[in-house]
Each structure stands twice: as structure tokens, then as C-alpha cells.
């Protein structure tokens, strides 16, 4: 998505923040006053009601304008846990010089802010105006395929679940970002394990609804994205609300319990959507991969078939509450 704003010598560049989402609590105190909070009352004996608020997808790259009116500088903050690519361009420009020249692409480190461009008048005696646009993509830019595309099944040893939609099946996986995704049918609340070690890029766990009738659900699937050392990223989607156990910037080993399976977003039934992606030319491209088998062999998940777990799972999932 391209974000932009018209900037003159007097205006500021503003970007909307994320809307609140998740569980909210409501209770009435002894004086009859109603309280609303994202945390339950501290008094354990206080009766309260719980309700859910739905928010919009968060903006992971945000911008602010600084510097002098005659020489503005634009800073960009990367909320992802790892590298992201930002492409800047001048959609409109009058009497402007950009340093560095635009269009240009930049790699922003995870959870960091950097100044990316400074602008000034080409003729200082004249006024100037411009409209700065940007696109952002998670992950470092890559052009070569990773050497290793073999992954562990993202659930515990001793469990087996059917692949309901295999690689390159365009029943619902129709674009480049999901062409080589697989859907694994499994019960709600199944512990989901990291199929490979890496850094948590971003998480979403506050969506409670699901359905296939409304387009809004296309962007409302709870998920965890993990960046691997080779630049590839695994996405685990349709997770159970409020079940994510990791946070952006956290490094997790293979087999780490990251969340529970669910049915959130554009979904017709409980399952895990698993896909491996690269940032190629400012676009997310999915990659064909293989699953490791308990016997030591490899499976091509290209069709509906039974998938068996390999990794050691949590010792007692029901007794271990989710934590961040």
C-alpha cells in the first residue's frame, strides 16, 4: 500500500496510529460509577463483564517530519522485529531537491528509527511543495532462493493432521504471497511450534471474528511472522485470539511454542495457514518447501495428505498459560 501526504513549507506529515483492539472490561463500583479498562478490576471480588473491541491492521512502518521548515527531514520507524525495506518516491514535486535523490529504497533495522530523506528548495528564493509517498515490505530484499527449504511440521511429535490444501493449489491461495502456502486442519487450541529458528517479526492476536462472507476478514487473521537467518520468513496464520506467546524482536529456537491454532480471519474452519515468503522486488513471494518426516525423510506437501509431527512439544499445554 502506498502512503502519502501533500507537504508544503507549512504542513506536517501525519500518519494514523493503530486502533485499540482486544478484550475490554466493564464494571460498576460501589458508588454506582461505571469503569471501562483493558485490564480487569484489581479487586478479585468485583464482578465485571468482558467484551471484545475490533481494531484495524496495525501500521508497521510509520513516519514523522522534523528539521527546519525550509529543509524538512523525514524519519521512518520500523515496528517489525527485523529488517524491512522502505521505498520512497516524490509523487509530486515543485522546486525540490531530495538528498538522497528519489526514488530510492532503504533497509530499516528492526524496531529502529532512521532519517531517510532531506528536502530543500532547488531555488532558495522560491517556495516549494511536494508529496512524499512510500511503500514498505517486511524482510530484507532478496534475489536468490535460500539454500535450505526443508521445515519441520509446526506441531508436536506424536500428533498427525491432514493437509487440506497443498502447495500451488489455487482454491484460495491465488496470489504470489500465498501460492505455495499449505493449510493444515487441526483442532482449536493446538500448540503451534516454530518450524525453524528465527526472530519474531510481528504478531497479531486480537481478532476474534471469522468468516468467508465479508471481505474485511481477509486482513483480520491472527498470525506470527518469523524471520530466519537466510532472509526467508515463515507466517503462521488463523491463530487463536490471545494465544500468542512471543513478541517482535524475540529470537526463538526451532520447536518453540509460539501460539495456538485457531480459526480467525478469512476462514471456513479451524486450521493453520503456513507459508514461507521472501521479499523480492518489494513484493512478498511464497516459496515451495518440504516438510521433514519422523523417519528422517522429506515430504512434498503438494496435495492433501496426512502430516506427522517431528518436534518435541510442550510437556503439558493445558497446564501452561500463555505468556508474553
Tell me, yes or no, whether 99 and 45 share the same domain. Answer: no
Tell me, yes or no, whether 88 and 106 share the same domain. Answer: yes
CA distance 14 to 16: 7
**Contact at 8 Å (CB) between 194 and 166?**
no
Tell me, yes or no, whether 312 and 172 share the same domain. Answer: yes
* Pick from 145-159, 214-228, 239-253: least confident: 214-228
The residue-averaged pLDDT of 103-110 equals 97
Tell me, yes or no, whether 280 and 246 share the same domain. Answer: yes
Q: Which residues pair with 65 in a beta bridge?
A: 74
Number of neighbours of residue 82 by Cβ within 10 angstroms: 26
Q: Read off the pLDDT band of 165 (50, 70, 90).
A: confident
pLDDT at residue 50 is higher than 50: yes
Tell me, yes or no, whether 175 and 293 share the same domain. Answer: yes
User: In the chain, pLDDT over 90 holds for what percent of residues?
Assistant: 61
- pLDDT at 221 (0 to 100): 74
Mean pLDDT of the chain: 82
Question: Does some domain include residue 36?
Answer: yes
HSE toward the beta carbon, residue 317, CA cutoff 13 A: 19
- Contacts (Cβ under 8 Å, ≥6 apart) of 214: none
Tell me, yes or no, whether 166 and 313 share the same domain. Answer: yes
The residue-averaged pLDDT of 102-126 equals 97
CATH number of 72's domain: 2.60.40.10
pLDDT digits (tens, 9 = 90+) for 240-273: 988 999 999 999 999 999 999 988 755 567 889 9
pLDDT at residue 107 is higher than 90: yes
Question: Does some domain include residue 145?
Answer: no
Tell me, yes or no, whether 81 and 183 share the same domain. Answer: no
Tell me, yes or no, whether 177 and 305 share the same domain. Answer: yes
pLDDT at residue 172 is higher than 70: no
Least Cα distance to 84 among 121, 135, 17 occurs for 135
Of 179-193, 213-227, 262-276, 308-322, the range with the highest mean pLDDT is 179-193
Question: Does some domain include residue 143?
Answer: no
Phi and psi at 317, nearest 5°, equal -55, -35
Number of neighbours of residue 118 by Cβ within 10 angstroms: 16
Pairing verdict, β 305-308 and 290-292: unpaired
The residue-averaged pLDDT of 5-16 equals 27
User: In the chain, pLDDT over 70 holds for what percent of residues?
Assistant: 75
Question: Which one of 83, 117, 138 terminates a domain?
Answer: 138
Question: Which one of 110, 138, 166 terminates a domain?
Answer: 138
Q: Domain span at residue 26?
A: 22-53
CATH number of 172's domain: 2.70.70.10
Report how many domains make up the chain: 3
The residue-averaged pLDDT of 216-228 equals 74
Question: Does some domain include residue 177?
Answer: yes
Pairing verdict, β 198-204 and 34-37: unpaired
Q: Read off the pLDDT band of 233 (50, 70, 90).
A: very high
Tell me, yes or no, whether 126 and 204 share the same domain. Answer: no
Phi and psi at 215, nearest 5°, equal -65, -25
Tell me, yes or no, whether 257 and 237 share the same domain. Answer: yes
pLDDT at residue 128 is higher than 80: yes
Tell me, yes or no, whether 180 and 245 share the same domain. Answer: yes
Q: Which residues pair with 121 in a beta bridge?
A: 96
Question: Does some domain include residue 262?
Answer: yes
**Contact at 8 Å (CB) between 278 and 287?**
yes
Question: Does some domain include residue 228?
Answer: yes
Tell me, yes or no, whether 40 and 108 share the same domain. Answer: no
Q: Read off the pLDDT band of 25 (50, 70, 90).
A: low
Question: Which one of 138, 170, 200 terminates a domain?
Answer: 138
CA distance 290 to 152: 8
- pLDDT at 39 (0 to 100): 65
The residue-averaged pLDDT of 93-118 equals 97
Amino acid at each position: 500500500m502506498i502512503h502519502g501526504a501533500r507537504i508544503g513549507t507549512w504542513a506536517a506529515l501525519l500518519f494514523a496510529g493503530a486502533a485499540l483492539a482486544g478484550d475490554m472490561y466493564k464494571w460498576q463500583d460501589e458508588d454506582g460509577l461505571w469503569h471501562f479498562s483493558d485490564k480487569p478490576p484489581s479487586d478479585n471480588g468485583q464482578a465485571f463483564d468482558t467484551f471484545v473491541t475490533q481494531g484495524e491492521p496495525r501500521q508497521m512502518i510509520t513516519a514523522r517530519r522534523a528539521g527546519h521548515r525550509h529543509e524538512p527531514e523525514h524519519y521512518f520507524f520500523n515496528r517489525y522485529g527485523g529488517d524491512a525495506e522502505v521505498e520512497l518516491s516524490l509523487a509530486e514535486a515543485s522546486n525540490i531537491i531530495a538528498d538522497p535523490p528519489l526514488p530510492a529504497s532503504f533497509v530499516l533495522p528492526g524496531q529502529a528509527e532512521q532519517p531517510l530523506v532531506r528536502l530543500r528548495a532547488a531555488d532558495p528564493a522560491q517556495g516549494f511543495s511536494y508529496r512524499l509517498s512510500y511503500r514498505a515490505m517486511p524482510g530484507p530484499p532478496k534475489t536468490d532462493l535460500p539454500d535450505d527449504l526443508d521445515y519441520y511440521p509446526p506441531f508436536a511429535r506424536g500428533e498427525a493432521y491432514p493437509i487440506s490444501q497443498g502447495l500451488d493449489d489455487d482454491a484460495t491461495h491465488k496470489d504470489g504471497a500465498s501460492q505455495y502456502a499449505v493449510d493444515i486442519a487441526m483442532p482449536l487450541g493446538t500448540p503451534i511450534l516454530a518450524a525453524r529458528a528465527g526472530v519474531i517479526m510481528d504478531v497479531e492476536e486480537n481478532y476474534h471474528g471469522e468468516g468467508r462472507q465479508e471481505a474485511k476478514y481477509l486482513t483480520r487473521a491472527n498470525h506470527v511472522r518469523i524471520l530466519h537467518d537466510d532472509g526467508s520468513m515463515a507466517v503462521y496464520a488463523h491463530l487463536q485470539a490471545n494465544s500468542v506467546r512471543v513478541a517482535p524482536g524475540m529470537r526463538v529456537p526451532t520447536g518453540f511454542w509460539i501460539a495456538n491454532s485457531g480459526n480467525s480471519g478469512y476462514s471456513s474452519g479451524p486450521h493453520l495457514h503456513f507459508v514461507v515468503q521472501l521479499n523480492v522486488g518489494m513484493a512478498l513471494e511464497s516459496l515451495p518447501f518440504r516438510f521433514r518426516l519422523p523417519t528422517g525423510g522429506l515430504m512434498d506437501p503438494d496435495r492433501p495428505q496426512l502430516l506427522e509431527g517431528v518436534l518435541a512439544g510442550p510437556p503439558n499445554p493445558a497446564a501452561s498459560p500463555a505468556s508474553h
